Amino acid sequence: MATVLLTGGAGYIGSHTAAELLEAGYDVVVADNYSNSSPEGIRRVEQITGKKVKLYEADVRDAARMAEIFRENSIDAVIHFAGLKAVGESVQKPLMYYRNNIDTTLTLLEVMAQFGVKNVIFSSSATVYGAENPIPYSETMPRGTCSNPYGWTKAMMEQIFEDAAKADPALSVVLLRYFNPIGAHSSGMIGEDPCGIPNNLMPFITQVAVGKRDHLTIFGNDYPTPDGTCRRDYIHVTDLAAGHVKATDYVLKHKGVEIFNLGTGTPYSVSEIVEAFERVNGIRIPFEFGPRRSGDLPESYANADKAAQLLGWKAVRSLDDMCRDSWNWQKQNPNGYRTE
């Protein structure tokens, strides 16, 4: 079976993808500098699957270190998760975001070329559709204007991959545009472990549920949506991980660039998420309505047809599953991977 290198594989989406790839029979190598994770997530993936992961502490910007990894392993495909992802922080520290995200991608592509590795999958985001495109978003739409440096790094990196594939017809590139991943592995052993105050909705809700925060602020209730709160395409992280397994099968057989939305195609509002979380878990989430958060769009959701047609992949887990599994992870691990 083929060997897949996951850059940033110790993180939230990478660790879930490692588990699904191992279950599907792939061998997994992980390179991560633990800037937003720890080796514990991968140790738990090994416990869940009963299989070994070859784990390297490595900064993807370090070409010599990456060359060692490619020399020691016969890599068939790479999934490039490594990157910084906090939208607000990217506005405060844009150069850090451009430096880390763009440099990891350039170094990775150079080292892949050096070792003749031709297959790569990239973690992009629905944010690249920007403010101009109508919903639901389809892969044929042009990239739009992003509202923050994090989003721009994703748009720029997509362009870099497209140009690299144009110059090297042997390259096979899959760009995956994630919508809003939430939830956790059904075992409750791995999940999202944000540092500090969570920026994203579901980690914030679970921290209110576990008593770390006293209430949720819903950012705006005057949007042009059915209940006035923003609507998003939330997708269970295990469904997203399963999409990466299908994308790996695909990238090994094709050439050129293919873009796929990974979403469910069904939007839910912030108020609907809070209601579902309360109902499924029997926990009240105190909340108040606050002002809009700058950069938020009223609605974002996928047309998910292309992934169904070409990858044979569809999200199958429900919003109730997402709420249950997010809480199962948080209550079993109130401090994430930290033991204190």
Sites of contact with ligand UD1 (CB under 6 A): 85, 87, 125, 127, 147-148, 151, 180, 199-201, 204, 216-219, 230, 232, 270, 293, 295-296
Between 52 and 292, CB nearer to ligand UD1? 292
Residue 35 near ligand NAD by CB under 6 A: yes
Give the residue with the Cβ less far from ligand NAD, 7 or 238: 7
Give me the amino acid identity at 112. Answer: M
Select from 8-16, 111-119, 213-221, 312-320 the region that touches ligand NAD (CB under 6 A): 8-16
Q: What angle do CA 291, 294, 295 make, to 5 degrees?
A: 140
Are 189 and 47 spatial neighbours (Cβ–Cβ below 8 Å)? yes
Residue 264 beta carbon to ligand UD1: minimum distance, rounded to whole angstroms: 14
- Least gap, CB of 137 to ligand NAD (angstroms): 13
- Minimum CB separation from ligand NAD for residue 74, in Å? 21
Instruction: Check if 150 is active-site.
Output: yes
Shortest separation between residue 318's beta carbon and ligand NAD, angstroms: 19
The two structure tokens encoding residue 288: 């108040």
The single residue of 56, 97, 129, 150 carrying the catalytic annotation is 150
Binding mask 40-79 for ligand NAD (x = CB under 6 A): -------------------xxx------------------
First-residue to last-residue Cα distance in the chain: 39
Question: Closest Cα to residue 80, out of 141, 4, 1?
Answer: 4
Q: Where in the chain does DSSP place strands (E)?
A: 3-7, 27-32, 54-57, 77-80, 119-125, 172-178, 180-182, 216-219, 231-232, 234-236, 256-262, 268-269, 287-290, 299-300
* Site for ligand NAD, residues 246 to 265, rule: CB under 6 A: none
C-alpha dist (Å) from residue 192 to 26, 41, 156, 183, 329:
23, 10, 26, 8, 8
Gap between the Cα atoms of 287 and 217, Å rounded: 6
| Contact residues for ligand NAD, defined by CB under 6 A | 7-8, 10-14, 32-37, 59-61, 81-85, 100, 104, 123, 125, 178, 181
Active-site residue set = 150
